[in-house]
Amino acid sequence: MAITKKKVQSHTVDEFISGAPDAPHVQEAEKPKYVKKGKKLQITLTISQPILERVDAMAERLGQSRAAIINLAIFQGLESGLQIDPSKSI
């Protein structure tokens, strides 16, 4: 059996340091904040209980789903503009 020399991998210093388990990694692509559901995107929405109760009441009154009412409100707000400060229109 012959004695062979172990192959040494040539790495740059930066590659060596970045390979350490505690090394700061290059920022990975941020995960999307939604789940694709067919042609639409599912998101998570946090809403106060009184507003949700009003949305649910309106949805029942109009015979629509909660999601339909929320989508319509968002659409109308984007089309017509929102007033956060009455002196400014978005």
Q: What percent of the chain has pLDDT over 70?
A: 83
> Which structural domain range is residue 77 located in?
32-90
pLDDT score at 30: 79
pLDDT in tens, 29-58: 778 889 999 999 999 999 999 999 999 999
Q: What percent of the chain has pLDDT over 90?
A: 51
Whether residue 3 lies inside any domain: the answer is: no
Whether residue 56 lies inside any domain: the answer is: yes
Q: Would the pTM of this model clear 0.75, i.e. be above it?
A: no
pLDDT score at 5: 72
Whether residue 42 lies inside any domain: the answer is: yes
User: Dihedral of the CA atoms 69, 74, 80, 81 (nearest 10)?
Assistant: 140
Nearest of 65, 8, 20, 15 to residue 40 by alpha carbon? 65
Count of domains forming the chain: 1
Residue 89 has pLDDT above 60, yes or no: no
Q: DSSP characters for 5-34?
A: PPPPPP--HHHHHHTSTTSPPPPPPPPPSS
